[in-house]
Amino acid sequence: MRRWNGWIDEGAEPPAVASGAVRLLEAEIGPGAPPRDATLGEVVASLGASALADEAGLSIDPVDRIRHARGQSLPDWIALRSGRLGRVPDAIVRPATSGDVRGILELGRRRGAALIPFGGGTSVVGGVMPDLDDDRPSIVVATELLTGLHGLDETSGLATFGAGTLGPDVEAALGPHGLTLGHLPQSWERSTIGGWVATRSAGQQSLGFGRIEELFAGGRLEAPAGSMVLPPHPASAAGPDLRQLVLGSEGRFGILTETIVRVGPKPRVEAVPSWVLGEWPRAVDAARDIARARLPLSMVRLSTPIETATTLALAGEGRGVRALRAYLRFRRVGPEPCLLLVAASGDEKLVELAVREVGSIVRRHGGTGIGGSPGRQWLRSRFQVPDLRDALWELGYAIDTLETAVDWSRLPDLAADLGRTLRHGLDDVGERVHAFSHLSHVYPSGSSLYATYVFRLAADPDETLDRWRRLKDAASEVIVRHGGTISHQHGVGRDHRRWLAGEKGELGLGVLRDVSARLDPDRMMNPGVLLTDARDERSGRR
């Protein structure tokens, strides 16, 4: 079980942070001051009584309510660690069938309650918390019993899962059949297949296996207005595709209870070779050429010089890292090397051919191959990286991420402006920020840009929250100004809602509100997420 106020398992120790990484942070932004976190007992003692009665099927246990009060955004962490939660859900309910969900929707209508779908609780954009400005009772609908493989059509390559099935359980169910979904976001170990659909998730190897919108074939949505069954047609010209309304709806239109996904044979071979390029502009050109070559790759990941240096610092000073540094000096790689990881998955000959062609492209841009060791290390640790949030917090540092996607012609300016904005975003309060980024998903016409930033925790949690808000707002404005999407893979939640109109337009937002009103006439589903509500607009809250 995940700890109540962090990412790692309850009772587990955070991973050790390499001494080189600590020295880097101390040099870049100063030494951190470990905070004094509230204990679970203190938070329980401060919790108000539930507005709902303890009736059959509803849990009003204080610890249960606290564990389902927030997700994994940095504001969520600040609230949990400080014990300043504000509102918490009044009850938790755990349906096991679509019929149970229909009963819960009726219960919510009868009680005048708001309902909050809760899968793995891994939202990093404020997507699974009670609306602080909504005075109705709130019920979290936890999907942890809506699990398992319900059906498998191996001939068609279609698998039906309960929407609450966790990532590892999806692959464990498909593995004996020689199949895979291949959708592996960084939160894979703790997130659910229904959550991936609801947030339009992208897996780390979506280049080869497809983003979730390519994998989602159909399913069942239980909305307050009724049930919506989405058949898994391979293709259809019968009007607009209603599946696209469910994708990215973030619980505003109803609760997804079943998902039908497209699965395929598990790759026989997977290789993750790596290269280093001497300067960022040529590295971006290489990534673009690889994307346009349309090779059978599952991932292209290119780190900026600052992220490359940070990655090496996190790796420590072992023999392998020392040998790599010596090799780069011997090959006279530029002073600001950029690490490129590429994954190829499939039959052995196809993988070999793809890797060879990537190597040819990289060499044309002055890159140097450094073997498979960095890629193997990335494979071993890719789902453990979020554990560093717990470790850095205990050293007195906050870490957060944001992401976008933009066309290739705008990417260089956006990357430079975003990094500069984050690094200098707290200058006026005398604080520094360590910020770095990488291209995590490439496309023929553009790329995602995934940024990580670290800053010191303040003694006052409200000041830490203010520092985050300054950085988040400034970075989001930069993204919009350069024509990027406000989210490539994390979703909208509350944290990105202010900037959605710039991307969808007021008419587009109006269409989404109309759909929401049709499916949820009492506005009970996840209020405050994705869309502003009518009373928000009257009060001017965006």
pLDDT digits 0-9 by tens, 123-151:
999 999 999 999 999 999 999 999 999 99
- Residue 55 above 80 pLDDT? no
- pLDDT of the residue at 318: 65
CATH for 149-265, among 3.40.605.10, 3.40.50.12500, 3.20.20.10, 3.30.465.10? 3.30.465.10
Q: What percentage of residues in the chain have a pLDDT greater than 90? A: 90
The ranges of the chain annotated as CATH 3.40.462.40 are 269-381
User: 10 Å Cβ neighbour count for 17?
Assistant: 18
Does the model's pTM come out above 0.75?
Answer: yes
Cα–Cα distance between 195 and 39 in angstroms, integer? 29
What CATH number was assigned to the domain covering residues 48-142? Answer: 3.30.43.10
User: Which residues in the chain are classed under CATH 3.30.465.10?
Assistant: 149-265
Q: In 3-state terms, what secondary structure has residue 446?
A: strand
Other Cβ atoms less than 10 A from the Cβ of 538: the count is 8
Q: How far is CA 176 from CA 228, 237, 424, 469, 534, in A?
A: 31, 35, 51, 46, 49
CB 476 within 8 A of CB 542: no
Chain region(s) in the chain for CATH 3.30.43.10:
48-142
Tokens 């470790």 sit at which residue?
A: 391
**Structure tokens that stand for 1 in this block:** 């079980």
Q: How confident is residue 330, by pLDDT bands cut at 50, 70 and 90?
A: low
Q: Domain 497-539, what fold?
A: Vanillyl-alcohol Oxidase; Chain A, domain 4 (1.10.45)
How far apart, in whole angstroms, are the C-alpha atoms of residue 352 and residue 367?
Answer: 19
Dihedral sign from CA coordinates of 94, 96, 100, 102 = positive
Q: Is 3.40.462.40 the CATH number for 269-381?
A: yes
Q: Which of 15, 236, 57, 262 is CA-nearest to residue 142?
A: 57
E strand spans, 163-263: 179-180, 216-223, 226-230, 255-262
Average pLDDT value for residue range 233-240: 97
Give the C-alpha separation, 359 to 289, whole Å: 12
Q: How much is the pLDDT for 259? A: 98
Spatial separation of the C-alpha atoms in residues 350 and 365, rounded to whole Å: 23
Give Cα 460 distance to the centre of its chain: 27
Give CA torsion, residues 383, 385, 389, 390, to 10 deg.
70
CA–CA distance, 107 with 299 (Å, rounded to integer) = 45
Which residues make Cβ contacts (< 8 Å) with residue 340, sequence separation at least 6? 274, 275, 276, 277, 283, 286, 287, 300, 301, 302, 303, 362, 367
| Least confident window among 37-41, 131-135, 339-343, 512-516 | 131-135
Strand order in the sheet with 149-153: 149-153, 158-162, 255-262, 216-223, 226-230
Q: Which two tokens stand for residue 221?
A: 């949505």
pLDDT tens-digit series, residues 443-501:
999 999 999 999 999 999 999 999 999 999 999 999 999 999 999 999 999 999 999 99
How much is the average pLDDT of 61-79? 98
Q: In the chain, which residues fall in CATH 1.10.45? A: 497-539
Mean pLDDT of the chain: 95
